[in-house]
A and B are shown apart, each in its own frame.
Chain A
Amino acid sequence: MTISQDDIKKIAYLARIKISQDESILLEKKLTGIMNLIDEMQKIDTDSIEPMSHALDVNQPLRKDEVSESDIRKKTMPLAPEAEDYLFMVPQVIE
């Protein structure tokens, strides 16, 4: 499996990470190396095997849908890079 410049462009877009031309050239070799390591998996037949998504096969518990901590805005909003009147500020999205 070879990761091409086009692949990098596509996945960098999906991951929302800007990649410079120089970075992209370096990444091609390193990502291809990692994918070759990963491709070791293909040598084994797994057709009848149930996938394991979790370390322990347990059920996800449900809790009551109740407020536990109300109004945490005073604590959390000061962490925003830009906020006004308890609103997160972002560049204009809708014209």
Chain B
Amino acid sequence: MLNLSLKQLSQNLNDKTFSSLELTEFFLSRIKKYNKQLNAFITIDESSSLSMAKMADDKISKGEHKPLTGIPIAQKDIFCAEGWRTTCGSKMLENFIAPYNATVIQNFNDIDAVNLGKTNMDEFAMGSSNETSYFGSVKNPWNLDCVPGGSSGGSASAVAARLAPAATGTDTGGSIRQPASLCGFTGLKPTYGLVSRYGMIAFASSLDQAGPMAPSAEDCAMLLNSMASHDHKDSTSIDHKKEDYTTNLNHPIQGLKIGIPKEFFGDGLNASVQKIIEEALDKYKKLGAELVDISLPNSDLAIPVYYVIAPAEASSNLSRYDGVRYGYRTKEYDDLMDMYFKTRQEGFGEEVKRRILIGTYVLSAGYYDAYYLKAQKIRRLISNDFKQAFKKCDVIMGPSAPSVAFGSGEKKEDPLAMYLQDIYTISTNLAGLPAMSIPAGLSNNLPVGLQLIGNYFEEGRLLNIAHQFQLSSDWHLKIPEGIS
């Protein structure tokens, strides 16, 4: 069960080689064995998972089997799942039991996939190392002294260690792709609006997007089939025609034009990461693709722009945590104001408070034009760069992250060094484009991810391009030693 793809798991369930109950028990036992070391899960609810598995087995025995029916999936703790504790990695929501399902969760429930548990994450998805979680940092299964990346670090650690056959994540500035890169598996951030944000706890609403995290592109295609849906409960959800993302995986990629942005190969990129990325690009050439030089001239402004827009939206979104309707409330207070102030002081962690303060500052009277409006204008320039680039190529490739996984604590006290982790991923969130990270090799026994950026709604094509690479490489199947 450990090394089977989602497609193989699904076939085995349908053939009754094993049941969903057996499969779910298998992964729950792995979680029991390894979670102490990895801290990948915040909440496990065995009885809920097992009763979902029994329901799935019931459906399968009646012949009502769908591709993900009975498959256990780890859910990032940012998605509300009815009856499940949903913390978003924060003390503020430590005891919050979600009263309804996020659309992503509902979509999985509708086909009787099994919720395997809620995974650890940076607090309110703010971080690139999973060290800002109120529930403790997560470890990288490739090296327990290293971070798994973030913010979807728990999902990443769980998939890499095969504590789950697949997981969900969210990506506001790289939070699916950077951990997928650092933990050595496949992660996809879809086009903004393809997956509903309803019930997904908000960080920066114009950038947040949920997506699949799993060993292979084929797995991600199956997951995206369930995750993507038009949703009236999310006003930014896009009414895009339903696609089957598994259909075109086997298309040949002869003649594919791959754009190589020179800005992604400059200072700051680790030399051994660069070498592995270049080897991966050579492999694509052997598969019949052509490399084209392109430029994304405003790339260096992506981080400054992001650290205006994301904190601005976060400061607004997180104003809802006031200790009145749900979540944490301070124990002692003199009056209403005092209650607000202390609740938010005690309920939020350091990084979250920093970002709320930055967001408040850039939106405050007198500064709005200089910061927020300016950032929105440069956001347009960054988006236009991609439009120009896609006139010359079909897909853009480069590194997902500037380095392999770094040591725990190494960047924790230096927010600026941490922010640079997302230097290659942030611009696609600003533009709203789909992008993936796929395993491309190992450097010092730590994974390196290749990033693929596509044009709007070209998830199917990206998955096809990734799948073709994975048919002739086995980096995505590597499991860290000491885990199997």
Contacts and interface: CB of A to CB of B under 8 A. Distances in A.
Given A40-B300, A46-B374, A56 B353 contact: no
Contacts of A63: 232
B98 to A, nearest CB: 9
A18 B342 contact: yes
Given A38-B304, A61-B235, A72-B99, A46 B378 contact: yes
Contacts of A10: 364
A51 B380 contact: yes
Nearest to A93: B336
B380 A80 contact: no
A27 B303 CA distance: 20
Interface string A51-88: 11111101011010000000010011001111000001
Nearest to B379: A52
Interface string A1-28: 0010001101110111111000000010
Contacts of B210: none
A46 B377 contact: yes
A90 B361 contact: no
A55 B357 contact: no
B206 interface: yes
B177 interface: no
Contact of A31 (B323, B338, B354): B354
Range for the number of chain B residues in contact with chain A: 35 or more
Nearest to A79: B326
Contacts of B193: 55-56, 58
A49 B304 contact: no
A17 B359 CA distance: 13
Contacts of B308: 38, 41
B354 A41 contact: no
Contact of B329 (A19, A27, A39, A82): A82
B374 A52 contact: no
B6 interface: no
A31 B325 contact: no
A18 B432 CA distance: 35
B304 A90 contact: no
B236 interface: yes
A56 B377 contact: no
Given A38-B362, A55-B192, A55-B193, A18 B307 contact: no
A71 to B, nearest CB: 13
Given A44-B301, A81-B327, A52 B357 contact: no
B97 A79 contact: yes
Contacts of A60: 235-236
Given A15-B360, A17-B341, A81 B323 contact: yes
B13 to A, nearest CB: 33
A37 B304 contact: yes
Nearest to A41: B304
Contacts of A41: 301, 304-305, 308, 371, 374-375, 378
A17 B305 contact: no
Interface string B417-435: 0010000000001111000
A15 B362 CA distance: 12
A92 B341 CA distance: 16
Nearest to B361: A11
Given A50-B377, A79-B99, A82-B329, A34 B339 contact: no
**Residue of A10, A50, A90 with highest tally of chain B CB at under 10 A:** A90
Contact of A16 (B96, B236, B341): B341
Nearest to B318: A15
Contact of B304 (A40, A52, A82, A91): A40
B340 A16 contact: yes
A9 B318 CA distance: 19
A44 to B, nearest CB: 7
A7 B340 CA distance: 20
B371 to A, nearest CB: 7
Please provide the 4 A-B residue pairs with the shortest distance between their CB atoms, ordered closest to farther: A55-B432, A51-B376, A81-B329, A55-B192
Interface of B: 96-97, 99-100, 191-193, 206-207, 232, 235-236, 238-239, 298, 300-301, 303-305, 307-308, 315, 319, 322-329, 333-342, 344-345, 348, 353-354, 356-358, 360-362, 364, 370-371, 373-381, 383, 415-416, 419, 429-432, 456
6 contacts: A40-B300, A50-B380, A51-B373, A52-B377, A60-B236, A76-B99
Interface of A: 3, 7-8, 10-12, 14-19, 27, 30-31, 33-35, 37-42, 44, 46, 49-56, 58, 60-61, 63, 72, 75-76, 79-82, 88, 90-93
Given A18-B344, A49-B377, A90-B324, 20 more contacts: A7-B361, A15-B357, A16-B322, A17-B356, A38-B307, A38-B308, A41-B301, A41-B371, A41-B378, A42-B370, A42-B374, A50-B377, A50-B380, A53-B206, A55-B429, A58-B238, A61-B235, A72-B99, A81-B323, A91-B338
